[in-house]
Amino acid sequence: MKKGKKPSSSAVTSSLIRKPIQRQFAIFLLPTFICFCIGFLWPFIQGIYLSLHSFTTVSNASYVGFANYAKAFADAGFRRAFGYTAEVAVVSLVLINVLAFFVAYALTRGIRGSNVYRGVFFIPNLIGGIVLGYIWKTIIDSVLPVSMSIRANYGFWGLIVVMCWQQVGYMMIIYIAGLNAVPEDMLEAAKIDGANGWKTLWHIILPNVMPSITICTFLSLTNGFKLYDQNLVLTNGAPVRRGVGMTEMLALNIAKTFTTANQRGVAQAKAVLFFILVTTISLIQLTATRRKELQQ
Amino acid sequence: MMQTTLKAKKPAAKGLEKQTTGKIITSIAFAVISLLWIMPIVIVLYNSFKTNSAVNTNVFALPNKESCVGFDNYVNGMTFGNYPFYYSAGYSVYITIVSTALILLCTSMAAWYVSRVNDTFSKVVYYLCIFSMVVPFQMVMYTLANTARTVHLDTPWTIPVIYLGFGAGLAVFMFVGFVKSIPIDIEEAAAIDGCGPLRTFFSVVFPMMKPTLISVGVLEIMWVWNDYLLPYLVLDATKYKTIPIHIQYLQGSYGRVDLGATMALIMLSLVPIIIFYLACQKHIIKGVAAGAVKG
């Protein structure tokens, strides 16, 4: 990106530009703003409102206070989904990041054909969750003695495999950018001081790619928490024991709750809780990356 | 953040450096791993030429004389099930192209307004956009589908408006980031020369935005093309399907489904992605890396 000689801050925005644009509000900002209201703002506000109501359609909502939230917390399926989602998110986070880091590390050592390998690792990231899930379901189910929807254990590891295949290439790209930014003189100094490969990796490279590690950790964590498509295709929550889907993740649990008409209020309350959870993770990420940037 | 080069470091020095044995072994190992990595796609490819029962018996077996059916699966797959695949593909292509074009045009204009006018309303819109990026879709899934029905936007022809609304956050955020980095002097010069805001935008600002337009375009194309839940909830799925909805419906009828034909359809849905990737790999990787900030 080209940077101007004197970056114009909003304060110096001249009236020459500002006033005429402001007069064209209806052309520049209004269309996006209206769509934003329809596609996000209004549904969001209505969602919070409805989470405090019992309803089957929007028009027959009756106020119930926090009863929906109480029901959501009391729901065994929701609690199981929360634990299971956390488990999937953490296990996938560790595996994806370790694999992606070492692939990125190996591919920045200047080996022949590394650009091609990089391209190959990235491909799965372009495939959508539904198609990706279907491909792997066909393959995994034909390898295993029983289908993933019969043994929860298989469903769990199947999902992990799919997530790794999809996300390793993506995180690898971020790690490669981080690794390439490690100062050359530091590496040379380590070499002169006689540090071996592992020592250099541990004491020089890792501390320098910390910003990338933070970004990737949180990205894979939020990806894990928000996962829906792959979960739907691979097992759709099955097997079910005592009415509780053993491999059902939060997003799927919420979507399923919405399909039962008299549970919609509870579903919306679950959705609000889910939103708070995901937003909290994102906010922690934001402050964490901010602090890292300040240190540099 | 992603301004650091994604290419191999100091290529000039690398050329002089001798490839050590260790490097050669790593390279060979990666050649094998890369092959294994794309195996799932290769498996789908050769299974798309096999009969249904052959896919069922062993997905790993290559097609042989008995199990190979040539392009029959592709021909049958087009009309198989009670909904023709070319309808789904058509809707997917239309929705992806129109949504992306609409998002690029509207949000780039909005972002220019937001960063140049910068009044209270603009700031509120900007912060709302950032806020919308962290909100998971489940939060609005029911109410959004409901709103779309109320304002009659629940057809494939109008769904791009919904995509613009829900996807505006990231796009506005990225465009504002770019506009803030370009000097205002050029726009002032245009204004002095007598350009109105529209002309200034389209003949001066918009062309300068090219790198961000590409990054945002790549992100939106990948999002809309692969999206399942939003069109599934907003559209009447018995009348209108996109490719992900179509594939998910096939899986719903598991057991009665022709697996050979399904593999052919999956292959058909992958072909545009692979062509897109081969055509602009560099832009895609850059765009995706730029989107990493969205979190």
Residue type, B24: I
Q: Are strands A240-241 and A62-63 parallel, antiparallel or unpaired?
A: unpaired
From residue A88, alpha-carbon distances to A243, A250, B275 in Å are 21, 11, 32
Q: Measured between beta carbons, which residues in chain A are less than 8 angstroms from residue B10?
A: 184
Does domain B85-252 fall under CATH 3.40.50.720? My reply is no
DSSP characters for A158-226?
A: HHHHHHHHHHHHHHHHHHHHHHHTS-HHHHHHHHHTT--HHHHIIIIIHHHTHHHHHHHHHHHHHHHHH
Tell me the C-alpha distance between B182 and B172, whole Å: 16
For residue A293, the chain B residue with the least C-alpha distance is B1
Could you give the 3-state DSSP secondary structure of residue A245?
A: strand
Structural domain spans, chain B: 27-81+259-272, 85-252
CA trace torsion B84, B87, B89, B90 (10° rounding): 160
pTM over 0.80: yes
Predicted pLDDT of residue B252: 66
Residue B148 makes CB contacts below 8 A (sequence gap 6+) with A38, B154, B159, B162, B234
For residue A4, the chain B residue with the least C-alpha distance is B183
Q: Are strands A53-54 and A240-241 parallel, antiparallel or unpaired?
A: unpaired
- In a mutational test of the A interface, the residue from B138, B200, B243, B258 whose CB has the highest number of chain A CBs within 10 Å is B138
Q: Which domains does chain A have, with CATH numbers?
A: 70-295 (1.10.3720.10)
Q: Does the distance separating the beta carbons of A165 and B37 come in below 8 Å?
A: yes
Torsions phi, psi for A9 (to 5 deg): -85, 165
DSSP characters for A21-49?
A: HHHTHHHHTHHHHHHHIIIIIHHHHHHHH
Using alpha carbons, select from A271, A283, A281, A282 the residue that is nearest to residue A48: A271
In our burial notation (b when 16+ CB lie closer than 10 A, e otherwise), range B243-269 reads: bbbbbbbbbeeeeebbbbbbbbbbbbb
Burial class (CB in 10 A: 0-12, 13-18, 19+), A163: buried
Say which DSSP state A277 is in.
Answer: H
Q: Measured between beta carbons, which residues in chain A are less than 8 angstroms from residue B266?
A: 131, 134-135
| Each residue's pLDDT expressed in tens, for chain B with a length of 295 residues | 444 444 444 444 444 455 678 888 888 889 999 999 999 999 999 999 988 888 888 888 888 888 888 888 888 888 877 788 999 999 999 999 999 999 999 999 999 999 999 899 999 999 999 999 889 999 999 999 999 999 999 999 999 999 999 999 999 999 999 999 888 888 888 888 888 899 999 999 999 999 999 989 988 999 999 999 999 999 988 889 999 999 888 876 655 677 888 889 999 999 998 899 988 888 888 877 776 654 3
Tell me the C-alpha distance between A238 and A141, whole Å: 14
DSSP characters for B211-267?
A: HHHHHHHHHHHHHHHH--HHHHHHS-TTT---HHHHHHHHHHTTTSS-HHHHHHHHH
Residue type, B155: T
For residue A218, the chain B residue with the least C-alpha distance is B295
Residue A267 makes CB contacts below 8 A (sequence gap 6+) with A254, A257, A258, A260, B142
In our burial notation (b when 16+ CB lie closer than 10 A, e otherwise), range A72-108 reads: beebebbebbbebbbebbebbbebbbebbbebbbbbb
Predicted pLDDT of residue A75: 93
- The position carrying tokens 């290769």 is B42
Cα distance from A242 to chain B (closest Cα, Å)? Answer: 23
Tell me the C-alpha distance between A92 and A223, whole Å: 10
Q: Measured between beta carbons, which residues in chain B are less than 8 angstroms from residue A37?
A: 165
ipTM of predicted complex: 0.86
What residues of chain A score a pLDDT lower than 70?
1-14, 289-296
pLDDT tens digits, residue range A4-60?
444 444 444 567 788 888 889 999 999 999 999 999 999 999 999 999 999 888 888
**Do residues A136 and B40 lie in contact, with contact meaning Cβ atoms separated by under 8 Å?**
yes
**Do residues B84 and B292 lie in contact, with contact meaning Cβ atoms separated by under 8 Å?**
no
- In a mutational test of the B interface, the residue from A24, A126, A148, A184 whose CB has the highest number of chain B CBs within 10 Å is A126
Around Cβ B96, how many Cβ atoms within 10 Å?
A: 23
Question: How many A×B Cβ pairs under 8 Å?
Answer: 333
**Do residues B280 and A264 lie in contact, with contact meaning Cβ atoms separated by under 8 Å?**
no
